[in-house]
A and B are shown apart, each in its own frame.
Chain A
Amino acid sequence: MYEILTVAKKEFMDNWRNKWIIAVSSIFMILTLVISYFGSLRSSGWQDLEATIGGMMSLVQLLVPIIALMLGYAAISGERERGSLMLMLSYPVTRLEVLIGKFLGLGAVLAVAESIGFGVAGGVIALNVTGVQWGDYLVFILSSILLGLVFIAVALLFSSIFKKRSTSLGGAIMLWFLFSMIWGIILSGIIIARYGFEVFTDPDWVGPTWYYAASIINPISAFSVLVSLNVTPVQTNVIRMPSFYTTPLMLLILLAWIVGSLLLAHVILNRQDL
Chain B
Amino acid sequence: MISIKNLRKEYGTVTAVDGISFEVKRGEVFALLGPNGAGKTTTIKAILGLIQYEGDIFIDGMNARENEKRIKKMIGYLPEKVAFYDNLTALQTLQFYAELKGIHDADLPALLKEVNLERDANRKVGGFSKGMVQRLGLAQSLLGTPELLILDEPTTGLDALGAFEVRTKIRELSEQGNTILLSSHILSEVQELSHRVAILNKGSIVAIDTVENLSKKLDVQPKLRIELEHVSDEMVQQVSALDGVRDVTVEGNVIEAICPPNAKLSIIKTLEEAGGTVVDFKTVEPSLEEIFIKVVKDHV
A→B interface (CB under 8 Å): 2-3, 6-7, 9-10, 14, 17-18, 82-84, 86-94, 271, 273-274
Contact = CB atoms under 8 A, between A and B. Distances in A.
Interface centre among A2, A3, A94, A273, by most chain B C-beta atoms within 10 angstroms, is A273
B45 interface: yes
B100 A84 contact: no
Interface stretch (B82-90, B194-202, B214-222, B250-258): B82-90
Interface of B: 11, 45, 48-52, 68-70, 72-73, 75, 77, 79, 81-85, 87, 96-97, 99-102, 140
Closest 3 CB pairs of A and B: A83-B83, A273-B51, A92-B72
A6 B45 CA distance: 23
Interface centre among B69, B79, B83, B102, by most chain A C-beta atoms within 10 angstroms, is B83
B20 to A, nearest CB: 17
Nearest to B9: A273
B99 A90 contact: no
Contacts of A17: 87
Contact of A6 (B50, B70, B84, B100): B100
A262 B40 CA distance: 33
Given A83-B83, A92-B100, 5 more contacts: A82-B83, A86-B79, A87-B79, A91-B100, A94-B69
Contacts of A10: 96
7 contacts: A9-B99, A84-B85, A87-B83, A91-B100, A92-B68, A273-B11, A274-B50
A9 B83 CA distance: 19
Given A2-B99, A83-B79, A90 B52 contact: no
Interface centre among A7, A87, A273, by most chain B C-beta atoms within 10 angstroms, is A87
A95 to B, nearest CB: 10
B53 to A, nearest CB: 9
Interface centre among B52, B77, B96, by most chain A C-beta atoms within 10 angstroms, is B96
Contacts of B79: 83, 86-87, 90
B75 A90 contact: yes
Contacts of B77: 87, 90
A92 B50 contact: no
B101 A91 contact: yes
A74 to B, nearest CB: 13
Nearest to A89: B50
B189 to A, nearest CB: 22
A18 B87 contact: yes
Contacts, number: 68
A83 to B, nearest CB: 3
A274 B84 CA distance: 16
B79 to A, nearest CB: 6
Contacts of B72: 90-93
B45 A93 contact: no
Contacts of A91: 72, 97, 100-101
A6 B96 contact: yes
A270 to B, nearest CB: 9
Given A17-B87, A82-B83, A94-B69, A88 B51 contact: no
A87 B68 CA distance: 15
Given A6-B96, A90-B75, A91-B101, A271 B85 contact: no
A17 B92 CA distance: 12
Nearest to A82: B83
A94 B69 CA distance: 8
B105 to A, nearest CB: 14
B151 to A, nearest CB: 12
A92 B83 contact: no
B29 to A, nearest CB: 20
B84 to A, nearest CB: 7
Interface centre among B48, B49, B82, B100, by most chain A C-beta atoms within 10 angstroms, is B100
Contacts of A92: 68-70, 72-73, 100-102
Interface centre among A2, A6, A91, by most chain B C-beta atoms within 10 angstroms, is A91
A83 B81 contact: yes
A273 B52 contact: yes
Nearest to B49: A89
A271 B53 CA distance: 11
A99 B79 CA distance: 22
Contacts of B75: 90
A83 B152 CA distance: 14
Contacts of B45: 86, 273-274
A86 B166 CA distance: 21
A86 B73 CA distance: 15
Contacts of B68: 92, 94
Contacts of B101: 91-92
B52 A271 contact: yes
Contacts of B50: 86, 89-90, 273-274
A84 B79 CA distance: 10
B99 to A, nearest CB: 4
Contacts of B48: 89-90
A94 B100 CA distance: 11
B10 to A, nearest CB: 11
A87 B69 contact: no
A84 B97 contact: no
A3 B100 contact: yes
